[in-house]
Amino acid sequence: MIKKLSEKVTWVGKVDWELKRFHGNEYSINRGTSYNSYLVKDRKNVLIDTVWLPYGKEFVENLSKVIPLSEIDYIIINHAEIDHSGALPELMKLIPQTPIYCTANAVKSLKGHYHQDWNFVTVKTGDTLDIGLNKIIFIEAPMLHWPDTMLSYMTGENILFSNDAFGQHYATESLFNDKADRCQLYEEAIKYYANILTPFSAFVTKKIKEVLSFNLPVDMICTSHGVIWKDNPLQIIETYLKWADSYSENQISIIYDTMWNGTAKMAQAIADGIKSKDDKVTVKLLNAAKYDKNDIMTEVFRSHTVLMGSSTINNGYLFSISGVLEMIKGLKFKGKSAAAFGTYGWSGEAVKEITAKLKECGFEIINDGIRALWMPDNEALTKCFEYGQALIKQYGNL
Ligand code: FEO
């Protein structure tokens, strides 16, 4: 499949409907993804990014049906990660002298991945490439989300080629935001931000403000994953500014794992206590052993408060909670509060240890948490209910 976006720009990427896991097993994919690559035909012909390595051969075959490969004058690699540079080894076998425009850090990454000394041309913010009637302006965007990342802007067509930024792991037939299901698109965009871009939020804000200060008109944002933002493209920029600013909704996530259902009962009683005092707050109960871990991160991103529960096991806490806490630590969420809860039989370290870890994750600790001995009886569950009520009393509209 190819798709003409304008007279001069054609999408030549790959829609991957089958993908289930990305970054190894690190990111769960619910609705496929795409690796977007673009061919710009002006007086000079430019290929912007490629596709993931397993699709390299297919990509080159399809591309050669759109343009004789020898007529590609320049290649731009906005980001060296293998889902965007993966077709280079196949392509460069056929056009080995074609210059590859990228940042100095991208040269290091590309050499590190492919061990080839291709014809690299390094660029910095403000450098331009004349392609005939129009030009490409390069804007470095380090740590969005790798040190090598940059954005490319095409004058005349007013297109920002943003690579990973503003993307989503979302396969669609139409490629354009206004043709996609709005709810699905929002869900995939926020999941992508929460799980990939959250640690770099300070860079997101700074870079967006810098790009906006250039006063470049933007008619389309061509991402490297998911939809192209054609209808009101600035909406995703405005949304990113909101997400990058210690984002939360009026939500409390109660994340737990449970051995014999006691901690699950505590979670439900705490939730009931919260709701009895505040029916406006959204309270979600998420069993970490059963719920998708990336979807849990998205719920953490949406929450102002996280309550984390586990039974005590082997003087610590359950494995799924370890994984969730480690992911939370890496994502460096800002401006969130937390506390711990859980059942125990004798030593009962889980609550204390989870609290310490939540503190390490940068959460403001609300209190020392709540524990229940063995299977919580009615009295213990009443205490959990009151604990939930007290959270609302303590923090009002949290
Ligand atoms: Fe889509 Fe950072 O690669």
Walk along the chain (398 residues) in steps of 10 and give the mean pLDDT of each run: 93 97 93 98 98 98 98 98 98 98 98 98 98 97 96 98 98 96 98 98 97 96 98 98 97 98 98 97 98 98 98 98 98 98 98 98 97 98 98 67
Q: What contacts 24+ positions apart, CB below 8 Å, involve 150-154?
A: 150/78, 150/79, 150/102, 150/103, 150/106, 150/123, 150/125, 151/78, 151/211, 152/48, 152/76, 152/78, 153/216, 154/9, 154/40
Query: How deeply is 241 buried, as exposed, middle or buried, from its count of CB atoms within 10 A (0-12, 13-18, 19+)?
Result: middle
Sequence-ordered alpha helix ranges (H) in the chain: 56-66, 82-85, 88-94, 104-114, 182-192, 201-213, 234-243, 262-277, 293-302, 319-331, 350-360, 378-395
The per-residue pLDDT for 396 is 54
Angle at 301 (CA atoms; ends 297, 302), nearest 5 degrees: 120
The per-residue pLDDT for 397 is 47
The per-residue pLDDT for 25 is 86
Does residue 79 have its Cβ closer than 6 Å to ligand 1? yes
Q: How far is the CA of 103 from the centre of ligand 1 (A)?
A: 15
Does residue 169 have its Cβ closer than 6 Å to ligand 1? no
Does residue 223 have its Cβ closer than 6 Å to ligand 1? no
Does residue 49 have its Cβ closer than 6 Å to ligand 1? no
- Residues serving a catalytic function are 23, 79, 81, 83, 145, 164, 192, 225
Does residue 37 have its Cβ closer than 6 Å to ligand 1? no
Ligand 1 atom, smallest distance to 149 CA: 2
The per-residue pLDDT for 393 is 73
The per-residue pLDDT for 233 is 97
Q: How far is the CA of 1 from the centre of ligand 1 (A)?
A: 22
- Residue with the smallest CA separation from ligand 1 atom 2 is 81
Domain boundary assignment for the chain:
3-243, 252-393
Same fold, 3-243 and 252-393: no
Superfamily of domain 3-243: Ribonuclease Z/Hydroxyacylglutathione hydrolase-like (3.60.15.10)
Does residue 83 have its Cβ closer than 6 Å to ligand 1? yes
252-393 topology per CATH: Rossmann fold (3.40.50)
- Going by their DSSP bridges, the two strands 33-35 and 14-16 should be labelled as antiparallel
Q: Count the neighbouring beta carbons within 10 Å of the beta carbon of residue 61.
A: 10
Q: How far is the CA of 78 from the centre of ligand 1 (A)?
A: 10
pTM: 0.96
Q: At residue 268, what is the residue type? A: Q
Q: How far is the CA of 94 from the centre of ligand 1 (A)?
A: 25
